[in-house]
C-alpha cells in the first residue's frame, strides 16, 4: 500500500522549572495515500484542451478575417474587428455556462452562439476563397467548429443535470432572489424621487413663508395707505405703549406685535409679557 508523509501539529504540555505550558509539537507521520483520481485528471485535461482549442481558433480566425478586412481598411482596424467574430460565440458559450441551470434562458445564448459561429466560419471560408485557396478556407473554417465542439463537450463534462422537480425548485428560488435583487434599484429610485418631492415641498413652504412677511416698501409710493402696514417708530416708549400702538394700527398677530415691541420699545421683551398686555388691551 502506498503511503505519504504528512506533518501533524498538536498542543502538548511542557514543564520547565515546575511551570507547565502548552506548546506546539510537530511530528511527521506516514498515512495511506489516496488512490489517484483519474476522473478529475481527465476532466481537467478536457477543460485545458478545450481552452487551448478556443485560443487557437481565436488566433486563427482573427488572422484570417483580419486579412480579409485589411483589403479595404487599415490593418489595425481590420484585425481588431476580426477578434469580434470568434469572441461573439465564445461569449455566448460563457453565458450558456452561467445559465446552465436555467434552460429557458440558456436557449437564447445557444442560438446566438450557433449563428455567430456560422458567420465566423463563413468569413474564414471567404478569405480562403478570395485568395484562391479553397481548401485552406474550408479547413480554416472547421477550426472554429472544432473549438466550439470541444468547449461544448467540456461544458457537458462539468454540467450537473437536474431532474424536472429540482429544476422547478431552483427556478422558483432564483425568481424569489432575483425579485429581491430587482427591488434594490427600484427602492433607491423611489427614495431619490421622494427626496426630490420633499425638497420641492420645503422650497414651496419657504416661499410661502417669505410671502407672508411684509415686503420691503422702499419702492412703494408714500401716498399708498397700504405701503406701511406697521406703525412707524415714534421714539422710545414702554412695552405697554408699544403694544397699544400696534393694536391701534391693526396688528393682531402676537408674533408681529412682539416684533414691533422689540423694535420700538425693548429688544429683549418677552413674549409672555407682550401676550399679557394684548389680553389686557382686548
Q: What is the pLDDT of residues 79-104, one digit of tens each?
A: 989 999 999 999 999 999 888 888 88
pLDDT score of 213 more than 60: no
pLDDT score of 29 more than 90: no
- State pLDDT tens for residues 135-157: 999 999 999 999 999 988 988 88
The whole-number average pLDDT for the span 104-108 is 88
Q: Is the pTM of this model over 0.85?
A: no
Q: What is the pLDDT of residue 267?
A: 78
Q: How large a percentage of the chain has pLDDT more than 90?
A: 31
Better-scored residue on pLDDT, 118 or 259: 118
Q: What is the pLDDT of residue 88?
A: 93
pLDDT score of 16 more than 80: yes
Least confident of 22-36, 214-228, 266-280: 214-228
Q: What is the pLDDT of residue 226?
A: 45
First to last CA, the chain: 113
What's the pLDDT band for 219 if we cut at 50, 70, 90? very low
Q: How large a percentage of the chain has pLDDT more than 70?
A: 89
Domain ranges of the chain: 3-32, 44-161, 239-281
Please check whether residue 124 is in contact with residue 140, taking contact to mean a CB–CB distance below 8 angstroms.
yes
- State pLDDT tens for residues 17-26: 889 999 998 8
- State pLDDT tens for residues 244-265: 888 877 787 888 888 888 887 7
pLDDT score of 122 more than 90: yes
- State pLDDT tens for residues 192-208: 998 888 888 887 877 77
Average pLDDT, the chain: 84
pLDDT score of 217 more than 50: no
The whole-number average pLDDT for the span 180-189 is 91
Amino acid at each position: 500500500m502506498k503511503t505519504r508523509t504528512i506533518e501533524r501539529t498538536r498542543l502538548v504540555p511542557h514543564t520547565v522549572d515546575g511551570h507547565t505550558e502548552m506548546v506546539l509539537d510537530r511530528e511527521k507521520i506516514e498515512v495511506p495515500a489516496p488512490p489517484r483520481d483519474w476522473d478529475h485528471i481527465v476532466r481537467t485535461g478536457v477543460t485545458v484542451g478545450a481552452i487551448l482549442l478556443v485560443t487557437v481558433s481565436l488566433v486563427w480566425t482573427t488572422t484570417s478575417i483580419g486579412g480579409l478586412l485589411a483589403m479595404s481598411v487599415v490593418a489595425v482596424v481590420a484585425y481588431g474587428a476580426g477578434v469580434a467574430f470568434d469572441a461573439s460565440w465564445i461569449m455566448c458559450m460563457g453565458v450558456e455556462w452561467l445559465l446552465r441551470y436555467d434552460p429557458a434562458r440558456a436557449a437564447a445564448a445557444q442560438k446566438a452562439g450557433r449563428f455567430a459561429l456560422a458567420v465566423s466560419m463563413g468569413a474564414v471560408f471567404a478569405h480562403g476563397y478570395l485568395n484562391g485557396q479553397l481548401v485552406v478556407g474550408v479547413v480554416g473554417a472547421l477550426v472554429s467548429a472544432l473549438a466550439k465542439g470541444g468547449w461544448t463537450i467540456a461544458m457537458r463534462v462539468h454540467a450537473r443535470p437536474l431532474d424536472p422537480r429540482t429544476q422547478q425548485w431552483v427556478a422558483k428560488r432564483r425568481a424569489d432572489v432575483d425579485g429581491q435583487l430587482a427591488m434594490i434599484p427600484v427602492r433607491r429610485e423611489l427614495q431619490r424621487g421622494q427626496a426630490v418631492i420633499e425638497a420641492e415641498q420645503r422650497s414651496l413652504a419657504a416661499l410661502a413663508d417669505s410671502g407672508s412677511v411684509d415686503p420691503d416698501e422702499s419702492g412703494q409710493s408714500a401716498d399708498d395707505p397700504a405701503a406701511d402696514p406697521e406703525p412707524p417708530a415714534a421714539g422710545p416708549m414702554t412695552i405697554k405703549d408699544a403694544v397699544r400702538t400696534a393694536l391701534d394700527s391693526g396688528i393682531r398677530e402676537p408674533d408681529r406685535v412682539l416684533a414691533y415691541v422689540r423694535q420700538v420699545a425693548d429688544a429683549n421683551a418677552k413674549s409672555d409679557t407682550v401676550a399679557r398686555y394684548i389680553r389686557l388691551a382686548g
